[in-house]
Chain A
Amino acid sequence: MSIPITLTVNGIPRTVALEDPRVTLLDLLRERLDLTGSKKGCDRGQCGACTVLLDGRRVNACLALAVSHDGAHVTTIEGLARDGELHPVQAAFIAHDGFQCGFCTPGQIVSAVGLIQEGQAGDDPERIREGMSGNLCRCGAYAGITEAVATAHAAMAGASGLPGGYLREDAA
């Protein structure tokens, strides 16, 4: 039995005939759509490396069954840069050295974009730390991550007039 589903991934509609309802959103992206930026660190919602924006909200793609999200809008790390220009969060991660090995980085960055859109943390470092605590970094780049999120928040607030204006069009 094949179940057809359609997802809008990084703005592009993708129709997939799911031969198996067990496929998670993460495995759909990585193994079937060749979007390997989202990483599998634990596969159990415990590390955050697979974080994507699902209908505008950051979630763990490893725990979402793809079949359940027919019609959803998904933004992955591959969908943040526009026309070769880095998203402010991506640029800030480089500037603040918010990563080392880079494996958790796509999840960190998408999570940071989600955090800024949620509008709960602002530029309060303690709220940023708490808000980013669903993303483990084994290399220990937390200091740079926190700085990068604060910097990007300021840059995005300045650019759009309201935090989280960027990417609003992706939210369903």
Chain B
Amino acid sequence: MLERHGSSIGQPLTRRDGPDKVTGAARYAADVHPEGLLHAVMAVSTIARGRVAHLDLAAAQAHPGVVAVMTPENAPRLARSPDEKEGPVSFRLDLLQNDGVRYASQPIAVVIAETLEAATEGALLLNPRYEAETPSVVLGAGERFTPQMVGAGLPAAMGSGDLEAGLAAAEARIEATYDTAAQYHNALEPHASVAEWDGDRLTLHTPTQGLYPAKARLAALFGLPPENIRIHSPYLGGGFGSKGFLSSPQILGVMAAKLVGRPVKLVTRREQMFGPVGHRASTRQTLRLGAKRDGVLTGYGHHTLTLTSTYDDFFEPASVLSRHLYACPAIATNHEASRADIPTPLFMRAPGEAPGSVALESALDELALELGIDPLELRLRNYAEVEPLSGRPFSSKALRECYAQGAERFGWASRPLEPRQMRDADGLLVGWGLGTATYPAGMFQGEARATIRADGTALVETAAQDMGQGPWTVLAQIAADGLGLPLDRLDLRIGDSDMPNGGLAGGSTATATTGTAVHNAAQGAVAALAALATNDPASPLYGAGNAGVTAAEGRLSRRDDPSRSETFSEILARAGRDSVEAKGQGAGEPASRKAYAMHAHGAVYAEVKVDPDLGQIRVTRLVGAFAAGRVVNPRLVRSQYYGGMIWGVSLALHEHATLDARSGRVMNNNLAEYHVPVNADIPSVEAILVEEHDPHVNPLGIKGVGEIGITGTAGAIANAVWHATGVRVREIPITLDRLLG
């Protein structure tokens, strides 16, 4: 039943969670204070490889207020080794089961105390001694190998045609290597746990992008049935992938609570966020492009070299987007990696696509320069009408409209082809650049329950997670339409693992997946209500059949005679029921997912200004035009695009974890020197929502919008810096010293 009855979807509603968030009433994990709470603080390693030889337990324990020190000696034994993977997309954890150290900032002990101050000082007093080995942390230093798979189970190598022949047939060629830096998610909310055990039952407040996987992992580690574990995660203070899976610090908080038999709060310190909670690995990407004089590609190769840890596998899939984006008869995409004494990298907003896009879009502009063709024209000449490698049609693709609407708004047509042609009134160099944005329109699996109650209200529950993308609002909009109820009669509850599985808030899938589940649950509840009415001779709807009624404003009406209707309350009252409920599933439909390539697309135009002498860069204007299927809430979707685009600014110009190659430590492990953009870095950002109807992606026609904004943007900025200065910088982030000449 595809029909929608209401008009909530598509409205630019303000956030339903807004009042709680602007008044400080929204409780994040670390804001929870059960009676008898103790505070826990981790000690982390300062070496990157070796073992902990000694901890000064006596000094820590002697500190007033310290209750216990959890080390490998006394840490609760686990039912399952934290090195045992629960599946291919599951990561090894550091849970004090041995004294080994495999990266800098690895947890090596936890100090539990009556106060935060005592726990903090206790952790410092442990003063560890190590048996250290020489670490290797530099990209390209270790032995190279080809991974089994990259990202979340994608082939490391894919291609079509003969790249070498394609390049040989080209009339213009470029080969260029781009480096991208290691990045740390740095959600503003540090990973936190407030854990409370009651016998073998656990209540845990912790931010997670996946309540069900988190529950499953804890169940496995502690040898408990999943129903013994309840996780609350109503609000995440940002996730960006780093809260996709429970991290070691979050689980150490649970172990600490078990050790001391009291509720424990463990909050990761900011500097400890540069280690055990994931990061994006550095990459070195080589792009080889060949084209005819008219700009039509004859071959293109995208090779990625990346790093992973010594003890686990995650490979930044930076070459993958080249499989989906531009038409070309000969494409080769592949990945190699080497191991290093670093923490295992992880999914980070647009994993693969983000660094891949900046390299690919830079390379295209280098080719455009070689050919003397406008960068937009070059992209249009290689527009993919079908997905290049698979040959499948796109379920929908309004990229041409994105290019056109963005170009119009930005004023691209007046861009000079040559670099260093534009200055502003103050003499600053001005440059314009373009990048294509793309991100897969994936779906995971989710479930929701809708209950229509006798008082004419409805309850919708799903263990979805709010990390700012807006589920409190958009799921309510979807539910309201599905139920035919005004929003103010809808009680939406999310963020509790006792609710039906709400899927993952990750991979730009949440609204598509959970929204579909909510839609189906709502429709199911309405169908159950309709069955009560249409089978009841006393109802004005009697005999209409389910398909013969529609729900709106809390009433069911006959489709053929809207004057014959009754309220939800009337139907339930006559049936003597408190409520009707239904569950709904959300998942991709296998046949259409096989038949169609499903991606969101966009075009991002950037203006930068560069001081001609001092090299300092500012992104003065960003215009993105994106097509991602149905827009549930334009206000919130626009914010997602802005956020992604600002991450693009950050990728292009700012974020860079600087490792000391000798120690393996991140030296700028703080927010003063690990730069993310501040407000003054973002003078102007615009997002155009390009209309796109997708009949295949899911019943609601929704594609994800959380990650696509980074892609395109970073490349657009790199290209704009070149256009401003004439200097092509291939080390990302672009820093001013490269522009001093």
Classify A-B as touching or not with yes or no (CB < 8 A): yes
By a CB distance below 8 angstroms, the chain A residues around B17 are: 102
Query: Cβ of A105 and Cβ of B186 under 8 Å apart?
Result: no
Interface of B is mostly: loop
With A93-B22, A129-B682: A138-B238 Cβ-Cβ less than 8 Å: yes
Q: Is B381 an interface residue (CB 8 A)?
A: no
With A101-B467, A145-B679: A137-B31 Cβ-Cβ less than 8 Å: no
Interface of A is mostly: loop
With A36-B24, A46-B670, A133-B679: A103-B117 Cβ-Cβ less than 8 Å: no
Query: Cβ of A101 and Cβ of B24 under 8 Å apart?
Result: no
- Shortest CB distance B702–A (Å): 18
Query: Cβ of A78 and Cβ of B21 under 8 Å apart?
Result: no
B613-652, CB < 8 A from A = 635-636, 638-640, 642-647
With A105-B22, A141-B643: A42-B670 Cβ-Cβ less than 8 Å: yes
Cα–Cα, bound, A39→B469 (Å): 20
By a CB distance below 8 angstroms, the chain A residues around B671 are: 41-42, 44, 46-47, 136
What does the 1/0 interface line of A3-46 toward B look like (CB < 8 Å)? 00000000000000001101100010011001111111111101
Query: Cβ of B643 and Cβ of A139 under 8 Å apart?
Result: yes
- Shortest CB distance B38–A (Å): 12
Cα–Cα, bound, A169→B543 (Å): 67
Cα–Cα, bound, A90→B638 (Å): 20
Q: Which residue of B lies closest to A20 (CB)?
A: B117
Q: Is A142 an interface residue (CB 8 A)?
A: yes
Query: Cβ of B678 and Cβ of A136 under 8 Å apart?
Result: yes
Cα–Cα, bound, A144→B679 (Å): 10
Q: Is B245 an interface residue (CB 8 A)?
A: no
Q: 16 interchain pairs (CB within 8 A)?
A: A19-B115, A30-B30, A31-B115, A36-B27, A37-B24, A41-B270, A43-B270, A77-B23, A102-B468, A129-B680, A136-B678, A138-B186, A138-B238, A140-B677, A142-B685, A145-B679
Query: Cβ of B270 and Cβ of A27 under 8 Å apart?
Result: no
Q: Is B18 an interface residue (CB 8 A)?
A: yes
Query: Cβ of A138 and Cβ of B676 under 8 Å apart?
Result: yes
Query: Cβ of A76 and Cβ of B24 under 8 Å apart?
Result: yes
Q: B residues engaging A (CB < 8 A)? A: 14-15, 17-28, 30-31, 33, 39, 115-118, 121, 186-190, 235-240, 267, 269-270, 466-470, 635-636, 638-640, 642-647, 670-672, 676-685
Q: A residues engaging B (CB < 8 A)? A: 19-20, 22-23, 27, 30-31, 34-44, 46-47, 49, 76-78, 80-81, 86, 90-91, 93-95, 97, 99-106, 109, 125-126, 128-130, 132-146
By a CB distance below 8 angstroms, the chain A residues around B187 are: 101, 103, 138
Query: Cβ of B33 and Cβ of A34 under 8 Å apart?
Result: yes
Query: Cβ of A101 and Cβ of B685 under 8 Å apart?
Result: no
With A101-B467, A140-B647: A44-B270 Cβ-Cβ less than 8 Å: yes
Most chain A CB neighbours (cut-off 10 Å) among B14, B235, B639, B646: B639
Cα–Cα, bound, A126→B406 (Å): 24
Query: Cβ of A100 and Cβ of B643 under 8 Å apart?
Result: yes
Q: Which residue of A lies closest to B644 (CB)?
A: A140
Query: Cβ of A133 and Cβ of B24 under 8 Å apart?
Result: no
- Across the interface, A102 reaches (CB within 8 A) one of B26, B186, B645, B683, namely B26
Cα–Cα, bound, A19→B114 (Å): 12
- Shortest CB distance A127–B (Å): 10
Cα–Cα, bound, A94→B186 (Å): 24
Most chain B CB neighbours (cut-off 10 Å) among A19, A40, A78, A135: A40
Q: Known pairs A31-B39, A95-B14. 11 more at Cβ < 8 A?
A: A30-B31, A39-B188, A41-B270, A44-B270, A47-B671, A77-B23, A86-B23, A91-B22, A97-B14, A101-B237, A142-B677
By a CB distance below 8 angstroms, the chain B residues around A86 are: 19, 22-23
By a CB distance below 8 angstroms, the chain B residues around A41 are: 188-190, 237, 270, 671
Query: Cβ of A78 and Cβ of B23 under 8 Å apart?
Result: yes
With A39-B189, A46-B670, A133-B679: A101-B639 Cβ-Cβ less than 8 Å: no
- Across the interface, A136 reaches (CB within 8 A) one of B121, B188, B469, namely B188
- Across the interface, B188 reaches (CB within 8 A) one of A19, A94, A103, namely A103
By a CB distance below 8 angstroms, the chain B residues around A134 are: 678
- Across the interface, B21 reaches (CB within 8 A) one of A36, A80, A91, A102, namely A102
- Across the interface, B115 reaches (CB within 8 A) one of A20, A104, A106, namely A20
Query: Cβ of A141 and Cβ of B683 under 8 Å apart?
Result: no
Query: Cβ of A40 and Cβ of B267 under 8 Å apart?
Result: yes
Query: Cβ of B235 and Cβ of A142 under 8 Å apart?
Result: no
- Shortest CB distance B506–A (Å): 14
By a CB distance below 8 angstroms, the chain B residues around A97 are: 14-15, 635-636, 638-639
- Shortest CB distance A139–B (Å): 5
- Shortest CB distance A106–B (Å): 5
